[in-house]
Structure 1
């Protein structure tokens, strides 16, 4: 899937659901919440949850959950970038340039 196409899709989807209109101070909170869920999914995979009141999912279920949570993080990143009219492609190019400039041996 093309990254620009997906950014346009997710912005339109958020607008349709009335999730887009929140101001730029709110979206990083959503982003942080989703990052926390990624951390929880990784913890489950790496060391388990040690919760007798929760069933232990198998590895496929754990990876499916991590994939889902990474998607939520990605979507929130797309929305924040879109709010400032920055494409993810531009972000990737600029970041690559920064890394090459900073780490000459890259």
Structure 2
């Protein structure tokens, strides 16, 4: 089942020719966006402590954080699409892996 986010992202990227990039270029974009997300998390949580930057309002920092999360998700959606994997399928595999790996009985004494 394709989500509205997947449908919109694929259509938007396709209109701009961004869907033509292969997996190696796409993973590069994903890593770049993950770095920008890391910077946004740092700014939101602890600031940047630079004399050339003014302190920004929390609402602005949160908006930037959300935008960067979206950029990561957009690239992940496109990468998944290259392998015909839906977000639902991806998250189900993730859930199954973690559930099996961290079963309660493994930690019972």
TM-score by length of 1: 0.91
**1:90: which partner in 2?**
89
Task: Give the number of the structure whose residues are more often helix, by fraction.
Answer: 2
| 1:43 Cα deviation from its structure 2 partner | 1.1
Q: Aligned to 2:48, what secondary structure does the other structure show?
A: coil
Residue 19 of structure 2 corresponds to residue 48 of structure 1: no
* Paired positions, count: 105
TM-score by length of 2: 0.88
Structure with greater Cα Rg: 2
Alpha-carbon distance between aligned partners in 1 of 2:28 and 2:18, rounded to the nearest angstrom: 13
- Show structure 1 runs of 5+ residues with no match: none
CA RMSD of aligned residues (A): 1.7
- Show structure 2 runs of 5+ residues with no match: none
Residue 30 of structure 2 corresponds to residue 10 of structure 1: no
Residue 64 of structure 2 corresponds to residue 65 of structure 1: yes
| 1:54 Cα deviation from its structure 2 partner | 1.9
